Amino acid sequence: MNNKIRTDLALEVRESFPQDDVEIRGVILEEEYDEAHDIRVSIVEIKDEKGAKAMQKPIGTYITIEAPRLSNADEDYQKPVSKEIAKYLKKLAGDLKSQDVLVVGLGNRDVTPDALGPQVVDNLFITRHLIHEFGKEFKEKNQLGNVSAISPGVMGQTGMESLEIIRGIVQETNPKLIIVIDALASRSVQRLNTTVQLTDTGISPGSGVGNNRKAINQQNLGTKVIAIGVPTVVDAATIVADTLGNYMHNTGFGEEDIYKFISEVNSQHVNNMFVTPKNIDESIKRISFTVSEALNECFAGSF
């Protein structure tokens, strides 16, 4: 059943393989743990086409930051999480962190689980207009980065693919780096609103909920793209499969019977349904601030 999980997290795809302790050809997994702050970092590197085929994800680096208390109202905990996000964001950006940066907040601000991207953009320190107004000397004096941002909405609101809107902006403003923020889907309830994934492969908006749009990546835009995502929903079918599967396994049912029963239940009752925590409004507000603080540290400079 795990080979049919719906998730945007590369770490969860890696965990879905039966032989967790066996290295997948073309895929490297590294883990770090900050015991003082209870933050775990997992780095999945897909090195070649064999690894990409096994993982069903593009070649690149996927950094997963798990912070169990991220969705809690604990400001002292938000700061080290922001620092950790900033640390790996700088690593992925490399020399481009000092260049012109376009931040794109994907999603629908009217649907709370999908509002992460727009809310992050709302909290950003935007500087591009200041530099255009006051010049290079002002930029250097105040140690500013060059940051612009857009929340393009969703196709149902604009009639346009997000990629089409972003491509037009890129052609007009010529940023050297694009940061895309979006809500993701997880297969684990425990990872909802507590996990941040960073990747240098870009993103396909809506892929986690089966609503694939054109990929926002370097291949389609001609500019390096880093994606930041937080899982805010989980497929209801996954919850049903995990709960019923464990119960039926413990009561003596065979794997084939379990699979047939769960497939029948999911197809009739919970197919294409997604679940989000009841405190999603507060969680999105806090997490968007945490992510925006990391972006401000990396790219906006101080003013």
Is 250 among the domain residues?
Answer: no
CA distances from 300 to 134, 216, 239 (A): 16, 23, 40
Is 132 among the domain residues?
Answer: yes
How far apart, in whole angstroms, are the C-alpha atoms of residue 193 and residue 212? 22
How far apart, in whole angstroms, are the C-alpha atoms of residue 303 and residue 288? 21
Handedness of CA 2, 3, 6, 8 (dihedral sign): positive
Is 239 among the domain residues?
Answer: no
- Tell me the pLDDT tens digit for each residue of 214-234: 899 999 999 999 999 999 999
Q: What's the pLDDT score for residue 238?
A: 79
How far apart, in whole angstroms, are the C-alpha atoms of residue 64 and residue 61? 10
Q: Is the pLDDT of residue 5 over 90?
A: no
Q: Is the pLDDT of residue 132 over 60?
A: yes
Q: What's the pLDDT score for residue 3?
A: 43
Q: Is the pLDDT of residue 22 over 70?
A: no
Q: What's the pLDDT score for residue 21?
A: 46
Is 167 among the domain residues?
Answer: yes
Structure tokens at 172: 């007009």
**Around Cβ 254, how many Cβ atoms within 10 Å?**
10
181 half-sphere exposure, CB direction, 13 A CA radius: 34
From 228, 206, 213, select the one nearest 111 (Cα to Cα): 206
Q: What's the pLDDT score for residue 271?
A: 63
Q: What's the pLDDT score for residue 269?
A: 61
> What are the helix (H) ranges across 182-279?
218-221, 236-250, 255-265
Q: What's the pLDDT score for residue 249?
A: 81
How far apart, in whole angstroms, are the C-alpha atoms of residue 144 and residue 126? 10
Structure tokens at 216: 């926002």
Q: Is the pLDDT of residue 260 over 60?
A: yes
Confidence bin at 113 (pLDDT 50/70/90): very high
- Tell me the pLDDT tens digit for each residue of 73-108: 788 899 999 999 999 999 999 988 888 999 999 999
Q: For the chain, how many structural domains are there in total?
A: 1
Confidence bin at 212 (pLDDT 50/70/90): low
Q: Is the pTM of this model over 0.75?
A: yes
Structure tokens at 262: 């769960």
List, in order, residues 6 or more apart from 278 with CB less than 8 Å away.
none
Is 260 among the domain residues?
Answer: no
How far apart, in whole angstroms, are the C-alpha atoms of residue 252 and residue 159? 52
- Tell me the pLDDT tens digit for each residue of 158-204: 999 999 999 999 999 999 999 999 999 998 888 999 999 999 999 98
The answer to whether 93 and 61 are in contact (CB under 8 A) is no
Q: Give the angle 179-223-138 at the CA atoms, nearest 5°.
A: 65
The letter for the amino acid at 170 is V
Structure tokens at 76: 């002292």
Domain that holds residue 229: 2-234+277-300
List, in order, residues 6 or more apart from 76 with CB less than 8 Å away.
none
Average of per-residue pLDDT across 273-280: 89
Is 243 among the domain residues?
Answer: no
Query: Between β-strands 101-105 and 60-66, what pairing exists: parallel, antiparallel or unpaired?
Result: unpaired
Q: Where residue 148 sits, what CATH number does that domain have?
A: 3.40.50.1450
Is 45 among the domain residues?
Answer: yes
The letter for the amino acid at 167 is R
Q: What's the pLDDT score for residue 270?
A: 61
**How many residues make up the chain in this entry?**
303
Q: What's the pLDDT score for residue 276?
A: 92
From 188, 204, 180, select the one nearest 92 (Cα to Cα): 180
Is 251 among the domain residues?
Answer: no
Q: What's the pLDDT score for residue 2?
A: 44
